[in-house]
């Protein structure tokens, strides 16, 4: 996992106009080829952003075409591509995979799915204590990463909590949920920097084929950027991404801390100099929302002492249907056509007789909202989703 990174990274930027698979092969060639990443390893962990069941067309999750091309390159080097990703704590992994079609995609493309215990059971995890960490002094990574290469595949998008989520934040999804809770509790921005002292991907390819700005990472505005950005140094890659979307890195709290504590990396550019493709709108900073969101994490410690293993405060709160982005059917506008039920990838979430949504199983993908021909579904809660 820990690459011997050259002092000056190569950052490759390419557009995806000719298709994302072609662009992925091109950008890998531009950074020196997949052999220079795999270097004889038998396994490469692919870490996409599958934070929730919102497909890549929305700019929320990593494009399957990118993963397919990366897996082909990994196999061509004699290594096995293995997917490792657990969605946000408020979402169920199996349900998220069902909505996105992850199992079918992986089966068709020879990618093994590694299902590590999200709660951090000892067998699957190994602890890191990176030197120089200020807040997140210890955390766990999947044991397999001790031997495997790590290929980080984030999406180029904004984030209502961390302002942007790029290469430096994306590895959070391979940490067990108790350690992600620590990151939020201790302060997400410094914790991201600390996490990057221990996790150094062998390759990052940021998926900007479709990104998201505004109220990302799930319900922001789709940004049709059609670009991929690759490199080994996560901070350098993220700085290059900021240039493409006209964002000052010092306006992103974890990048500001990283620059102060790690120094500004240097890189040479391969591929295209694309300038600013779209000036991103950063999420509105809502202090009250951020405080309430943050409070869920320290309160989760006592909650998990008494709750069933695997249950967290945020999932229980979401299950009440009182918080979070969620669909709600307006009885007066509904014709009971059933199109929302057909659009929902999960069984028995919408009850067409009562017009109620089961919020303990609903994964907030909003496919029902998009399918309703009568505009009879509203989206409740803080989000950028349009009404
Ligand atoms: S798709 Fe809309 S109109 Fe049809 S049943 Fe669902 S909520 Fe009602
Ligand atoms: S009810 Fe709607 S938002 Fe919930 S999982 Fe089904 S389609 Fe997605």
Q: Is residue 103 part of a domain?
A: yes
The per-residue pLDDT for range 279-325, each reduced to its tens digit, is 999 998 778 877 888 888 899 999 899 999 988 999 899 999 998 89
Residues 245 and 349 in one domain: no
What's the average model confidence in pLDDT over 57-69? 98
The CATH number given to whatever domain includes residue 143 is 3.40.50.11440
Q: Give the CA radius of gyration of the chain.
A: 20
d(CA 368, ligand 2 centre) in Å: 6
d(CA 3, CA 39): 10
The pLDDT of residue 3 is 46
Candidate from 341, 367, 376, 378 with most ligand 1 atoms within 8 A of CB, to mutate? 376
Residues 145 and 83 in one domain: yes
Closest CA to 198 of 129, 118, 120, 289: 129
d(CA 364, ligand 2 centre) in Å: 5
Candidate from 328, 334, 365 with most ligand 2 atoms within 8 A of CB, to mutate? 365
What percent of the chain lies above the pLDDT cut of 70? 96
The per-residue pLDDT for range 237-296, each reduced to its tens digit, is 999 999 999 999 999 999 999 999 999 999 999 999 999 999 999 998 778 877 888 888
Q: Is residue 302 part of a domain?
A: no
Residues 65 and 189 in one domain: yes
The pLDDT of residue 6 is 53
What's the average model confidence in pLDDT over 346-362? 97
Residues 20 and 151 in one domain: yes
d(CA 360, ligand 1 centre) in Å: 20
Contacts of 118 (CB under 8 A, 6+ apart): 86, 93, 176, 177, 310
Q: Which domain holds residue 132?
A: 8-271
Residues 116 and 209 in one domain: yes
Residues 257 and 382 in one domain: no
Residues 337 and 229 in one domain: no
Q: Is residue 92 part of a domain?
A: yes
Residue whose CA lies nearest to ligand 2 atom number 4: 362
Residue whose CA lies nearest to ligand 2 atom number 6: 344
Residues 227 and 374 in one domain: no
Domain end marker among 250, 271, 292: 271
Residues 219 and 340 in one domain: no
Q: Is the pLDDT of residue 383 over 80?
A: no
Q: Is the CB of 327 under 6 A from ligand 2?
A: yes
Residues 196 and 341 in one domain: no
Residues 245 and 107 in one domain: yes
Q: Is residue 185 part of a domain?
A: yes
Indicate the number of domains in the chain: 2
d(CA 344, ligand 2 centre) in Å: 5
Contacts of 13 (CB under 8 A, 6+ apart): 27, 227, 228, 229, 230, 240, 244, 269, 270, 271, 272, 273, 274
Residues 119 and 197 in one domain: yes
The CATH number given to whatever domain includes residue 383 is 3.30.70.20
Q: Is residue 3 part of a domain?
A: no
């Amino acid at each position: 996992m820990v690459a011997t990174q050259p002092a000056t990274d190569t950052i490759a930027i390419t557009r995806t106009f000719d298709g994302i698979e072609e662009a992925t092969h091109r950008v890998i060639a531009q950074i020196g080829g997949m052999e220079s990443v795999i270097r004889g390893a038998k396994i490469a962990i692919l870490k996409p952003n599958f934070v929730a069941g919102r497909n890549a067309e929305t700019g929320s999750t990593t494009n399957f075409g990118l993963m397919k091309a990366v897996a082909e390159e990994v196999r061509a080097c004699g290594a096995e591509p293995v997917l490792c990703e657990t969605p946000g704590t408020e979402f169920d992994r199996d349900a998220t995979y069902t909505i996105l079609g992850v199992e079918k995609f992986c089966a068709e493309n020879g990618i093994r799915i590694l299902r590590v215990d999200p709660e951090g059971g000892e067998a699957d995890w190994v602890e890191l204590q990176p030197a120089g960490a200020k807040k997140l002094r210890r955390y766990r990574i999947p044991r397999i990463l001790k031997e495997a290469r790590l290929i980080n595949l984030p999406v180029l998008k904004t984030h209502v909590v961390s302002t942007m989520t790029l290469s430096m934040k994306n590895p959070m999804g391979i940490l067990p949920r108790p350690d992600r809770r620590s990151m939020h509790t201790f302060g997400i921005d410094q914790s991201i920097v600390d996490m990057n002292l221990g996790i150094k991907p062998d390759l990052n390819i940021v998926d900007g084929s479709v990104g998201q700005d505004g109220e990302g990472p799930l319900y922001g505005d789709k940004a049709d950027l059609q670009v991929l950005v690759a490199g080994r140094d996560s901070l350098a890659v993220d700085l290059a991404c900021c240039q493409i979307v006209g964002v000052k890195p010092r306006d992103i709290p974890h990048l500001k801390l990283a620059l102060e504590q790690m120094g500004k990396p240097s890189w040479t550019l391969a591929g295209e100099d694309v300038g600013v493709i779209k000036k991103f709108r950063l999420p509105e900073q809502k202090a009250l929302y951020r405080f309430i969101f943050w409070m869920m994490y320290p309160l989760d410690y006592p909650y998990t002492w008494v709750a069933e293993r695997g249950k967290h405060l945020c999932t229980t709160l979401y299950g009440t249907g009182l918080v979070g982005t969620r669909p709600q059917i307006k009885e007066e506008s509904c014709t009971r056509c059933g199109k929302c039920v057909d659009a929902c990838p999960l069984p028995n979430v919408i009850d067409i007789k009562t017009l109620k949504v089961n919020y303990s199983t609903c994964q907030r993908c909003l496919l029902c909202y998009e399918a309703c021909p009568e505009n009879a579904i509203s989206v409740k809660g803080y989000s950028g989703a349009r009404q």
